[in-house]
Structure 1
Amino acid sequence: MRILVQKFGGTSLANPERRAQVAAKVSEAINQGFSPVVVVSAIGRSGDPYATDTLIKMVSSIYSEVPKREMDLLLSCGEIISGSIMVSTLQGLGLEAVLLTGGQAGIITNSSFGDARIVRIEPENILEQLKEGKVVVITGFQGMTENGQITTLGRGGSDTTACSIGVALNAEAIDIYTDVEGIMTADPRIVQDAKILDVITYNDICHLAHQGAKVIHPRAVEIAMQKNIPLRVKCTFSDAPGTLVTNVQPDLAEGSDMIGDRIITGIAHTPNVTQIKIHVQEEENKPKAITKIFKGMALADISVDFISVQPETVLYTVRDELAKKAVNILKNLGFNPESAPGCAKIALVGGGIADVPGVMANMAEALAESGIEILQSADSHTTIWVLVKKEHMVPAVQSLHKKFELGI
């Protein structure tokens, strides 16, 4: 049995015309000899009746501190509604289909409501339905604990569902359908000549996703990578081949991108972050002071990023909405922090960065030519990050895209 996992996001399911296009993709897979497993997100986006954000706002307007367990029960309804509608759509075309919730599909999670992690998948029910010739539609974004509690998997949870199911079933491929035609070198809303990548490595797409690219969730990619299952990011509304995510270089047509030949794969950006700077005084016990800083953030459940620990200074970033809380905690701990709100992090990502001289020099030159000040920088063997003011984010991405000739 050749199993193909197809995941469709909320925009792909938003109206009957789009659902018909989804059904056409499923029918095409069947005609190609696949047994499709279809993973669906909640219909639409914020403001649409059954979208996840709409459901959150519905109860939060009544009481802002809804228990996470009850919130997960509510949010699971969005995918159940879209799954039921998708099954009806497929059956209307003469395709036998069945809907399984996350729990019915055998997705067993821990009990971290709102951001549960998958412990294991018991795929027997899915396989039984596939053997009967049915299209199996699975609600994304959700699972069930050992004792039967419904959980949700956090943002990007439907991607995680699709990749986890794909690994558990040893699928031939996992197709992630969105409203864009693939993974691009930069956000096309910012860079007009952003280019669709034919192929990208698991590692590079993970880094792009972690740094702000929204096409696929990094946790999902990491799961697919466990078995080297080909992951394809495609558009529901076109026949474009999309982007193949893999560690294995396939035979490519003439003119296609080669993974190994690109120094820079793409540029990602994260807006709305605040830089926090703490001067560690000479007389202080510096190791204890540094420990106190980061323990204070952890105990307050504040995620820190872009960390730079220098002999006299500690620098890091937090999301803008958490900055005031972070500063107050630091003051209560006896520190005198400085904060710079309204910043943005820009990331150059590429497996070719390692051991290639001049990448940072070219990055600095491009930003300087555009009059953009670098507030902070860091690098790894696959990524170089810079922090800039938010008003410089768009010109920074544009100038770097041009400097590294990513649109060619």
Structure 2
Amino acid sequence: MSIIVQKFGGTSVSTNERRSMVVDKIMHVKNQGKSVVVVVSAMGRKGDPYATDTIRNLALETNPYCSLKNIDLLMSCGEIISAVSLASMLELSNEKTVVLTGAQAGIVTDDNFSNAEILNIDEGKILPYLEEGYIVIVCGFQGATDKGEITTLGRGGSDTTATALGVALGAQQVEIYTDVDGIMTADPNVVPTAKIIDEINYADVFQMADKGAKVIHPRAVEIAQKGNILVKIKNTMSDHPGTSICYCRGNKENLYSTDTTQKLLTAITSKDHIAQVSILMEDNLERDSQLLAALSDAKISIDMINFFVDRKVFVIDETQVPLIHKILKKMNVQYTILDDCSKVTIIGSRITGIPGVMSTIVRALSNEQIKILQTSDSQSTISCLVKKPDAKRAVNILHEAFHLYK
């Protein structure tokens, strides 16, 4: 049995017209003799009647301290509405269709409500339906604990559902449908010259998702990589072949070239709402440990970490600024916090150490009077912290400097 898992996001199921397009995509695969498992998100986006945020606010507007357990139960309704609406259209074509909640599909999670992790999937809950020729529609973004309590998987959870089911069922591939033609070298709303990437490896996609690109959730990429399953990013509204995510080798010649006019990079992303924290603190292992322990206890995630002899510099999400103020005042240290920053990241397999990359970044941005506040790098990324008003321009400048538009 050849199985295809298709995941359709909120914009893909937001209207009758778009759900009709979704039916066409499903039937195209079904008519090829494949077994189809469909994963759906809640309809639309923030502000739409049945979107996840809209449903969530039904409880929070009344009680901001409503328990996460109850919120999860409420939010799971969004995907159920999408799934049943889509199933009703498929039934008009006399297709045998079954709708399963995450729990009914055998998705078992931990009890970390609102951000649960999948522990196990009982594929025996789905396979019998596929063997009988059913199209199986699974409510994404959700599962249940071993006690049967409904949980949700956090932002982008339907992507996670899709890749996890794909691996568990031994699917031929997972297709993630959205409203763009595939993964692009940059956000097309920011960089008009951004182009579609035909094929990309798991590591680069993970970095893109982790650094601000909204194409697929990082956790979904991790699951796909561990299961070595082909993932395709496609557009519900077009027949574009999209982007394939797999263990691809990439272009060796470009990777090792010292000629910076060649395309060394895969993509450029940016993430807003970042604050830079700079603490005046002498090098002292005990004090450093106290600081890191306090941040960990408060569940403050830090990034772009630079510890110098006389100061410690890192970045945090702006939502965590009030909390870090309290911590640093309690520690009685001198510090400054710079709000309204953005992290711009260039991504490419093993780019660190290739001559000319950093100098190209610095030259390109300094020529346009964009100040680099801080940098950090890994084997496949180089990030620059800039002021938010400069971020869009910085992404465009670097996209052109590294010839990603070609």
Give the alignment partner of residue 397 of structure 1, picking from 392, 395, 398: 395
Paired residue for 1:349? 347
CA distance in 2, matches of 1:207, 1:405: 20
CA distance in 2, matches of 1:271, 1:396: 13
* Change in 2 beyond 3 A, CA 1:126/1:259: farther
CA distance in 2, matches of 1:354, 1:385: 11
* Change in 2 beyond 3 A, CA 1:260/1:44: farther
How far apart are 1:259 and its partner, in Å? 7.8
Paired residue for 1:339? 337
TM-score (ref. length: structure 1) = 0.95
Paired residue for 1:20? 20
**1:52-201 matches, cutoff 5 A:** 52-201=52-201
Residue-by-residue CA offset, 1:336-369 (whole Å, 9 max, x unaligned): 2210000000100000414411101101111111
Aligned amino acid, residue 332 of structure 1: K
CA distance in 2, matches of 1:55, 1:46: 10
Report if the CA contact (8 A) 1:273-1:342 is conserved.
yes
Report if the CA contact (8 A) 1:272-1:320 is conserved.
yes
How far apart are 1:55 and its partner, in Å? 1.3
CA distance in 1, matches of 2:204, 2:65: 38
Aligned amino acid, residue 317 of structure 2: R
Paired residue for 2:319? 321
Q: Does the residue aligned with 1:32 lie in a helix, a strand or coil?
A: coil
Residue-by-residue CA offset, 1:25-78 (whole Å, 9 max, x unaligned): 000001222101000000111111111111122211111111000000000000
CA distance in 2, matches of 1:260, 1:21: 41
Report if the CA contact (8 A) 1:101-1:139 is conserved.
yes
Residue-by-residue CA offset, 1:88-147 (whole Å, 9 max, x unaligned): 111112211100110111100000001000111111010010001000000000001011
Report if the CA contact (8 A) 2:282-2:309 is conserved.
no
Q: Does the residue aligned with 2:227 lie in a helix, a strand or coil?
A: coil
Residue-by-residue CA offset, 1:165-199 (whole Å, 9 max, x unaligned): 00000100000000011000001111010001001
Report if the CA contact (8 A) 2:265-2:348 is conserved.
yes
Paired residue for 1:280? 281
Report if the CA contact (8 A) 1:268-1:348 is conserved.
yes
Report if the CA contact (8 A) 1:260-1:352 is conserved.
no
CA distance in 2, matches of 1:277, 1:137: 50
Aligned amino acid, residue 240 of structure 2: A
CA distance in 1, matches of 2:335, 2:273: 19
Amino-acid identity (%): 43
Report if the CA contact (8 A) 1:264-1:352 is conserved.
no
Paired residue for 2:293? 295
CA distance in 2, matches of 1:33, 1:345: 46
Report if the CA contact (8 A) 1:200-1:259 is conserved.
no
List gaps (5 residues or longer) in structure 2.
255-262
Report if the CA contact (8 A) 2:199-2:243 is conserved.
yes
Q: Does the residue aligned with 1:373 lie in a helix, a strand or coil?
A: coil
Paired residue for 1:265? 266
Deviates more, 1:204-213 or 1:86-95: 86-95
CA distance in 2, matches of 1:227, 1:143: 20
Report if the CA contact (8 A) 1:199-1:259 is conserved.
no
CA distance in 2, matches of 1:117, 1:326: 27
Deviates more, 1:174-183 or 1:354-363: 354-363
**1:195-274 matches, cutoff 5 A:** 195-248=195-248, 258=251, 261=254, 262-274=263-275
Q: Does the residue aligned with 1:231 lie in a helix, a strand or coil?
A: strand
CA distance in 2, matches of 1:288, 1:377: 26
CA distance in 1, matches of 2:252, 2:236: 25
List gaps (5 residues or longer) in structure 1.
250-256
